[in-house]
């Protein structure tokens, strides 16, 4: 039976994809299905809105080795749409699935809709300076970046869990795993961020931002220049087109000019506030709130006000 299929090796991302999947389900009148290797997450997918969960039974948990099995499954189930988490491994799987389905594929979509019997997607180009709109005939494969959508709220509901025995592609084997260990916070999942830019004169001055972040219960992030040119903060902390993409509830910047390469990494923040001495700084065009002033004067005042309020 035709359906809307969701896959990601990351269960959290797969749940996020159920949000656009539900919107397609409403207009296409087809069931929402999830493909996973995590049997323990099946009920979570059902609670998040999946009508059916296909659990791949295999000793291999590496998507690269399961791409053919996933492709065969969506062909057998006559999938109309396949939504895949836009991770490195997810894009590998998506390309193989699209080939097997002989389907069109759209990458890094920020919106997915159904109209006139076709899938319509939109994605940003040239660091957000242009919007690419693509139309795909069914069946269609679409990759969606992590955290583009918020995962649905869990509810008590019924669904079908089906196990499928698969044989991984033996041409792909993992001989050794060397984790890339990170230190500090993960700014991509932070709810509040205080971001520092080149407006700070020296590294020790970052204590002003750290004090404000503590008062806000926020984490500290930075621009590329602060991380890669000045080396004041780890590269894991910088936001931008070649850095981290963030979507916090509050993004507050100080001394950040707001060039397009940085804006593309934080434009989806719910509330954007900026502090800069230059009233014509590009950051103000993206900001919901702005203060034209010296960060060395403004940050201590904001911190004191928050601390006194507590």
Helix (H), strand (E), coil (C) string for 156-184: CCCCEEEEEECCCCCCCCCCCCCCCCCCC
Length of the chain: 310
Give the N- to C-terminal CA distance of the chain in Å, as an integer: 57
Q: Six-digit token pair at 212?
A: 């404000």
In the chain, the DSSP E strands lie at: 4-7, 32-36, 52-57, 81-85, 104-106, 111-115, 118-125, 130-137, 140-144, 160-165, 192-196, 219-222, 250-254, 271-276, 289-292
- Residues of the chain falling short of pLDDT 50: none
Q: Which fold has domain 187-309?
A: Rossmann fold (3.40.50)
264 vs 295: CA distance, rounded Å: 23
Q: What is the pLDDT of residues 111-120, one digit of tens each?
A: 999 999 999 9
Q: What is the pLDDT of residue 137?
A: 94
For residue 151, give the 3-state DSSP assignment. coil
Q: What is the pLDDT of residue 166?
A: 83
Q: What is the pLDDT of residue 184?
A: 63
CA 203 to chain centre: 30
User: How are beta strands 32-36 and 4-7 bridged, if at all?
Assistant: parallel
Q: What is the pLDDT of residue 274?
A: 96
CA 235 to chain centre: 18
Of 80, 74, 72, give the one whose Cα is nearest residue 29: 80
Q: What is the pLDDT of residue 223?
A: 95
Total-model pTM = 0.78
Q: What is the pLDDT of residue 128?
A: 67
Whose structure tokens read 């700070």?
200
Residues 34 and 64 sit within 8 Å (Cβ to Cβ): no
28 vs 289: CA distance, rounded Å: 40
286 vs 282: CA distance, rounded Å: 7
- The domain spans of the chain are 4-165, 187-309
DSSP state of 304: H
Top-tier CATH class for 4-165:
alpha beta
7 vs 84: CA distance, rounded Å: 5
Q: What is the pLDDT of residue 157?
A: 87
Q: Six-digit token pair at 307?
A: 């601390």
Q: What is the pLDDT of residue 209?
A: 95
CA-to-CA dists, residue 178 to 90, 181, 305, angstroms: 20, 9, 46
Q: What is the pLDDT of residue 127?
A: 63
User: How are beta strands 111-115 and 118-125 bridged, if at all?
Assistant: antiparallel
Q: What is the pLDDT of residue 181?
A: 66
Q: What is the pLDDT of residues 139-180, one digit of tens each?
A: 999 999 988 898 898 888 889 999 988 877 777 677 777 776
Q: Do domains 4-165 and 187-309 have the same CATH topology?
A: yes
Q: What is the pLDDT of residue 182?
A: 62
Residues 94 and 70 sit within 8 Å (Cβ to Cβ): no
């Amino acid at each position: 039976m035709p359906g809307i299929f969701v896959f990601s090796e990351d269960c959290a991302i797969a749940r996020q994809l159920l949000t656009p999947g539900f919107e397609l389900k409403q207009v296409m009148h087809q069931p929402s299905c999830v493909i996973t290797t995590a049997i323990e997450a099946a009920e979570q997918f059902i609670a998040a809105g999946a009508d059916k969960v296909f659990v791949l039974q295999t000793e291999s948990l590496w998507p690269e080795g399961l791409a053919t099995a996933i492709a065969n499954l969506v062909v057998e189930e006559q999938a109309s749409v396949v939504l895949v988490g836009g991770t490195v491994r997810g894009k590998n799987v998506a390309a193989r699935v699209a080939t097997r389905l002989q389907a069109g594929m759209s990458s890094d979509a920020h919106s997915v809709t159904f109209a006139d019997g076709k899938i319509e997607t939109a994605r940003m180009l040239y660091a957000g300076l242009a919007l690419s709109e693509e139309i795909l005939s069914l069946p269609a494969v679409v990759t969606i970046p992590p955290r583009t959508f918020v995962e649905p709220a869990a509810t008590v509901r019924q669904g079908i869990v089906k196990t499928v025995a698969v044989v991984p592609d033996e041409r792909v084997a993992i001989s050794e795993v060397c984790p890339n260990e990170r230190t500090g916070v993960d700014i991509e999942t932070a709810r509040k961020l205080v971001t520092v830019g080149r407006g700070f004169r020296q590294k020790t001055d970052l204590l002003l931002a750290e004090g404000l972040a503590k008062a806000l219960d926020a984490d500290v992030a930075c621009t590329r220049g602060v991380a890669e040119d000045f080396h004041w903060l780890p590269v894991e902390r910088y936001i931008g087109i070649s850095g981290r993409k963030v979507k916090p509830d509050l993004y507050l910047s100080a001394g950040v000019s707001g060039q397009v390469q940085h804006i593309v990494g934080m434009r989806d923040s719910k509330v954007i506030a900026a502090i800069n001495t230059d009233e014509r700084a590009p950051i103000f065009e993206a900001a919901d709130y702005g203060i034209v002033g010296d960060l060395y004067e403004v940050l201590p005042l904001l911190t004191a006000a928050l601390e006194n309020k507590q």
